[in-house]
């Protein structure tokens, strides 16, 4: 009888031990897949943050940062060329992120050799290339022709009105003499305007952006909520940007956009003066340039006005004041002011010039 009881107990213990071992084995096998799935989820999450997601149609639902965004240019002239060069110089933007469209292939080859995608259809910047930040770099008459050739409403600037997207699109207009309201009417389909997520700004940049030394003006403060991060990061990577109201942008274009040409003219004149006095052309040009740089930097650092610093740089009956007297006699100041005014008038005229 006792041996039967012992046999029963032994069988029971053996079964319990077997059940426990089976349970442990099952638990281990369940734990491993759970860790694997969690790891995959984390990996997937990281990947989705690094790259904007795409819908089935190919349109991205979010805007990437400067190293992942797509930059489009409508117009392939000198200003577009300078901005592209500046963006590439930052090394944050690669050629494959840049897309340029122009009516003719005249200037497109220079972009192609850099590995930049091009098109003769402006619409592709918004459609096929699906860009995030678009620089409008065409002459004002291109925009004005849309009004001249249209009927009760202007023609679309891009063959067709730009497509609506699930994510914001930022359009930066470098077109002098053209308001954002006019530009908007040639890009957006008025009947479907509520479907667009488009933010537009007026912008002025000088060609020094090509070297990362540009100066510009934007119609909102770059560090404000009115300026999206992608716009702020892009512009500040290539230029120092000041805030100027939109209705004064044409004046800024005459001073900043064209002012560099006048400064180079003045430097050349200074250098020629030194050359006349016996300096080599190379040395005279270098010294004239450095003189301009020192003077400009002094104004920025001291916040003193040009008249005050001019007085500090002259002495009674000294050589400098004699030179200034000659500049006054030649009406040099009026000539420079007239150059700004002439640039402003021409900017307005170009808007109405037939293509």
Q: What is the DSSP string of 64-127?
A: --TTT--EEEE--SHHHHHHHHHHHHTTSS-GGGEEEE-SSSTTTHHHHTTT-EEES-THHHHT
Please report the pLDDT score of residue 22 as a whole number: 55
Render pLDDT for 96-112 as a digit per residue (tens, 0 to 9): 999 999 998 989 999 99
Please report the pLDDT score of residue 152 as a whole number: 77
Q: What is the mean pLDDT of residues 102-124?
A: 94
Task: Report the distance separating Cα 16 and Cα 22, nearest Å.
Answer: 10
Q: What is the mean pLDDT of residues 170-187?
A: 93
Q: Closest by alpha carbon to 243, among 212, 201, 210, 211?
A: 201
Average pLDDT, the chain: 85
pTM: 0.77
The answer on pLDDT for 92 being more than 70 is: yes
- Per the DSSP assignment, residues forming a β-bridge with 118 are 100
Q: If DSSP codes are grouped into helix, strand and coil, which group holds residue 203?
A: strand
The answer on pLDDT for 200 being more than 60 is: yes
Q: What is the mean pLDDT of residues 268-292?
A: 97
Q: List CB contacts of 59: < 8 A, sequence separation 6 or more.
A: 130, 165, 166, 167
Mind giving me the DSSP string for 296-346? HHHHHHH---HHHHHHHT--TT-HHHHHHHHHHHTTHHHHHHHHHHHHHHH
The percent of residues above 90 in pLDDT, for the chain, comes to: 66
DSSP state of 227: S
Please report the pLDDT score of residue 171 as a whole number: 97
Render pLDDT for 56-74 as a digit per residue (tens, 0 to 9): 444 566 777 999 999 999 9
The token pair at 75 is: 């117009």
Please report the pLDDT score of residue 20 as a whole number: 52
Q: What is the mean pLDDT of residues 135-145?
A: 91
Please report the pLDDT score of residue 15 as a whole number: 53
Query: Higher pLDDT residue, 160 or 328?
Result: 328
The answer on pLDDT for 31 being more than 60 is: no
Residue given tokens 């000088």 in the structure block: 206
DSSP state of 60: B
The answer on pLDDT for 131 being more than 50 is: yes
Please report the pLDDT score of residue 352 as a whole number: 76
């Amino acid at each position: 009888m006792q041996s039967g009881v012992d046999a029963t107990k032994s069988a029971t213990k053996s079964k319990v031990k077997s059940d426990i071992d089976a349970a442990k084995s099952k638990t281990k096998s369940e734990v491993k897949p759970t860790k694997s799935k969690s790891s995959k989820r984390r990996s997937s999450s990281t990947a989705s943050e690094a790259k904007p997601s795409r819908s089935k149609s190919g349109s991205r639902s979010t805007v990437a940062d400067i190293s992942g965004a797509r930059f489009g240019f409508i117009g392939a002239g000198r200003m577009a060329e300078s901005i592209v060069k500046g963006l590439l110089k930052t090394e944050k933007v690669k050629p494959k992120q840049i897309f340029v469209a122009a009516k003719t292939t005249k200037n497109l080859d220079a972009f192609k050799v850099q590995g930049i995608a091009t098109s003769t259809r402006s619409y592709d910047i918004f459609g096929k290339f699906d860009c995030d930040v678009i620089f409008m770099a065409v002459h004002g008459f291109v925009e004005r022709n849309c009004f001249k050739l249209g009927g009760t409403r202007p023609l679309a600037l891009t063959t067709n009105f730009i497509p609506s997207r699930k994510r914001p699109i930022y359009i930066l207009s470098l077109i002098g003499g053209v308001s954002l309201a006019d530009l908007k009417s040639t890009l957006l389909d008025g009947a479907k305007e509520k479907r667009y997520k488009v933010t537009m700004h007026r912008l002025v940049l000088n060609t020094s952006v090509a070297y990362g030394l540009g100066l510009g003006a934007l119609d909102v403060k770059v560090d404000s909520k009115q300026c999206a991060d992608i716009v702020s990061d892009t512009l500040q990577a290539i230029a120092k940007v000041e805030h100027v109201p939109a209705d004064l942008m044409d004046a800024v274009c005459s001073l900043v956009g064209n002012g560099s040409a006048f400064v180079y003219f003045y430097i050349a004149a200074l250098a020629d003066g030194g050359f006349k006095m016996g300096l080599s052309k190379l040395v005279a040009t270098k010294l004239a340039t450095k003189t301009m740089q020192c003077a400009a930097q002094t104004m920025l650092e001291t916040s003193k006005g040009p008249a005050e610093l001019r007085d500090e740089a002259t002495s009674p009956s000294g050589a400098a004041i004699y030179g200034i007297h000659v500049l006054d006699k030649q009406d040099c100041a009026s000539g420079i002011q007239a150059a700004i005014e002439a640039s402003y008038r021409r900017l307005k005229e170009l808007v109405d010039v037939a293509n």
